[in-house]
A and B are shown apart, each in its own frame.
Chain A
């Protein structure tokens, strides 16, 4: 089985802060990490590899050269091969152009039985690239996957819904977007780290991917960012401090009853 896992390097958005004086984003000291949901996609691939001997896992990303660090991390955890799709021609791609570019790189690789994605990336939060790539490739896509069993040409996948889950059966090849619930991502092994150290990553250019230049980057992206702004700073209401618990509890319950909400 050949599994391609699409990864994205993202700023750790939980570390991003707003400077209260200028109301702008403070990025200083914010590290770049593998998108947390993509870690679960990679882990799903690695667990399938352990279960099904002969399986190979390819980690694919589109991004700046700096994203090679993340691919090395993927090798450290057990990915067999990596592809870094990197070219100024991809700059400014929205989800339409990104999913097209990734699909062209995937077509260059050995045919995949599974193409895995994280549920969404924590910087853009669109959750659109996985289904988009699947559509460019013409394969079915199951979103919000929390578990998978593969038997021969068939996979049984658990897809989460708002209030439960469904068991779905699909004939491979297929794309999945993976939830955090699917597994607990492993750390890189010592042996893996050694392998990653030796790895020299040559980027795949837009030309090498065979992509139609007219479908790449900002010019080909249907959506445009018109403006970026900081949400207005919020100020709270009343604060009750330094009073006996029983006093504030009564006052709160009285207030809720007065407002007729309980």
Chain B
């Protein structure tokens, strides 16, 4: 089971050792490849080995009892907060519609909360054929346990083959519990979804190693196939006014929450959130200090209320709060215009913004990797160029 090494065929060239993304291979005293516990059986080394000394033994079926054919339909978790549907719910409906059509099945939205029935029509207009609604006081404020219980109960009753949720604070918080409870796989932060129509498999592509490599993940023998997708990865579909569907109200016995909400504090009240912004001005290490973010705020204002973003380097330096962070460990954004100022463009940053419509980079270093993704790269001193842009915008 897993990776097998044919020691006879191994010539000790070490190609597999340097290819392995997980550091799971080494050469032993006899200059033969050996594998350790870090192996994920991804197969990257198998393709790289010049002598075919590495073989991936295909796993046995892990869930022979599960009738995968009994599971049908594509589900989307319709995230709502304080009675407002989140954009990611519509984005997932758009993508879910495509997947459901390829499989020839219904697209269903799952709506959890209290007094949220009025949100159903918008879900139909964005492509849902059915909406499963659980309306319960224990779901009024999100906490992981009752949300997971409600979702698990619905899955057991209706057996969908695919479930998608936003990779948000809420989605990531409870959907991992659902996966454990129903005993299935979950792939985090997918950036691409596709269908293998023959096997009815969801092909889930996601970045790994901070975006340095991409992995395609499947969940062959368990259902539902579950994935989270970051906000702004997929585009919102155009609503079809008047489109309707079937609303199914589920009366579930949801246990009281183990976690009590004492207080909710919105700290972004006076600032534009990068998450939904159409124009983002981002500062990186090249900003040189917290005081210089004032220049970016001026530019953001001159652009008519743009959001201010930051790279991890700027956040780690304490120049700006992590609410502004764009990238692998921050937010994924898809604005119309993204202006990166003094951002070198590490892969971890690029994966969070490289689907922006237009990317503009300003950097002193002509070799900065940010220029590889920029539509317009300006080589120069941002402290000279930005004031000129502000002046030009105001004229």
Contact = CB atoms under 8 A, between A and B. Distances in A.
Interface in B192-232: 203, 207-222
B212 A25 contact: yes
> Which of B172, B216, B384 is the most central at the interface, judged by chain A CB atoms within 10 Å of its CB?
B172
A221 B328 CA distance: 25
Contacts of B215: 225, 227-228
A259 B375 CA distance: 13
Given A228-B214, A229-B214, A245-B380, A223 B358 contact: no
Contact of A92 (B21, B40, B262): B40
A123 interface: yes
A218 B22 CA distance: 15
A240 B337 CA distance: 18
Contact of B213 (A180, A230, A239): A230
Contacts of A148: none
A103 B198 CA distance: 37
A217 to B, nearest CB: 8
B268 A127 contact: no
A241 B379 contact: yes
Interface stretch (A44-52, A74-82, A163-171, A186-194): A163-171
B334 to A, nearest CB: 14
A221 B68 CA distance: 16
Given A164-B266, A168-B261, A240 B358 contact: no
B71 interface: no
Interface residues of A, number: 102
B2 A223 contact: no
A91 B22 CA distance: 12
Contacts, number: 329
Contacts of A242: 379
Nearest to A143: B173
Describe B's contact surface by its main secondary structure.
mixed
A260 to B, nearest CB: 9
Contact of A64 (B36, B279, B331): B36
A261 B356 CA distance: 13
Interface string A117-138: 0011011111111111011100
A166 B265 contact: yes
Interface string B323-341: 1000011010000110000
A252 to B, nearest CB: 6
A28 to B, nearest CB: 7
A237 B375 contact: yes
Contacts of A141: 144-145, 173, 177
Contacts of A249: 385, 388-389, 391-392
Contacts of A27: 18, 20-21, 23
Interface stretch (B41-49, B93-101, B118-126, B238-246): B41-49
Contacts of B354: 234
A91 B39 contact: yes
B248 interface: no
B23 A225 contact: no
Given A96-B186, A162-B169, A168-B260, A227 B388 contact: no
Contacts of B180: 96, 99, 131-132, 135-136
A235 B374 CA distance: 8
Given A228-B44, A245-B385, A262-B303, A131 B173 contact: yes
A250 interface: yes
Nearest to B143: A168
B259 A238 contact: no
Nearest to B204: A223
A31 B107 CA distance: 46
Nearest to B354: A234
Interface string A85-106: 0111011101110010000000
Given A92-B2, A127-B188, A132-B177, A236 B373 contact: yes
A88 B20 CA distance: 18
Interface in B378-395: 378-381, 384-385, 387-389, 391-393
B8 interface: no
B147 to A, nearest CB: 11
For A90, A127, A224, the residue with the greatest tally of chain B CB atoms inside 10 Å of its CB is A224
Interface string A204-217: 00000000000001
Given A91-B39, A136-B180, A237-B375, A156 B262 contact: yes
A18 interface: yes
A128 B377 CA distance: 38
A246 interface: yes
A150 interface: no
Given A14-B210, A125-B328, A170-B258, A64 B348 contact: no
A252 B379 CA distance: 13
Given A96-B179, A248-B380, A13 B210 contact: yes
A131 to B, nearest CB: 4
Contact of A261 (B179, B266, B268, B358): B358
16 contacts: A92-B41, A124-B208, A136-B180, A140-B258, A141-B144, A165-B265, A170-B258, A180-B316, A218-B1, A222-B222, A225-B215, A227-B42, A229-B214, A240-B379, A261-B278, A262-B303
Ranked 6 nearest A-B pairs via Cβ: A222-B185, A249-B388, A223-B185, A13-B210, A126-B188, A131-B176
